[in-house]
Amino acid sequence: MHAIRLHAFGPAENLTYEKVEDPEPGPGQVRIAVTAAGVHLLDAALREGMQGPAPEPTRLPTIPGREVAGVVESLGEGVDGLWLGKRVVAHLGFAPGGYAELAVTGVDRLHEIPAGLDDAQAVAMIGTGRTTMGIVQFADLGPGSVALIPAAAGGIGTLLVQYARHAGATVIGLAGGEEKAARVRENGADLALDYTDPDWAARLDEYRGRATVVFDGVGGAVARTAVGLLAPGGKHLVFGWSAEGIRDGEAYLVEGVSEQVLGPAMMRKAGGPDPVRTLELRALAEAAAGRLTPAVQRFPLAEAAAAHRALENRGTVGKVVLEP
* Range 146-150 average pLDDT: 96
- Enumerate the domain spans of the chain: 2-127+278-323, 138-260
Please name which of 148, 146, 274, 310 lies closest in space to residue 217, comparing C-alpha atoms: 148
* Range 300-323 average pLDDT: 93
Q: Which of 115-129, 149-163, 207-221, 239-253 has the lowest mean pLDDT?
A: 239-253
- Provide the 10 A C-beta neighbour count for residue 286: 22
Identify the DSSP state of 62: B
Average pLDDT of the residues of the chain:
92
Tell me the pLDDT tens digit for each residue of 237-259. 999 766 554 444 457 889 999 99
- Provide the 10 A C-beta neighbour count for residue 281: 15
Domains 2-127+278-323 and 138-260 share a fold: no
| 8 Å CB contact between 312 and 12 | yes
Give the pLDDT of residue 246.
42
Any idea which fold 2-127+278-323 has? Quinone Oxidoreductase; Chain A, domain 1 (3.90.180)
d(CA 274, CA 16): 35
Strand pairing class (211-216; 230-238): parallel
- Look at residue 95 and give its three-state secondary structure: coil
Query: If you count them, how many residues does the chain have?
Result: 324
| 8 Å CB contact between 44 and 12 | yes
| 8 Å CB contact between 320 and 171 | no
Tell me the pLDDT tens digit for each residue of 165-193. 999 999 999 998 999 999 999 999 999 99
Using DSSP, how many helices (H) and how many strands (E) does the chain show? 9, 15
Give the pLDDT of residue 272.
86
Q: Which of 126-130, 246-250, 284-288, 311-315 has the lowest mean pLDDT?
A: 246-250
Its CATH class, for the domain covering 138-260, is alpha beta
Give the pLDDT of residue 51.
77
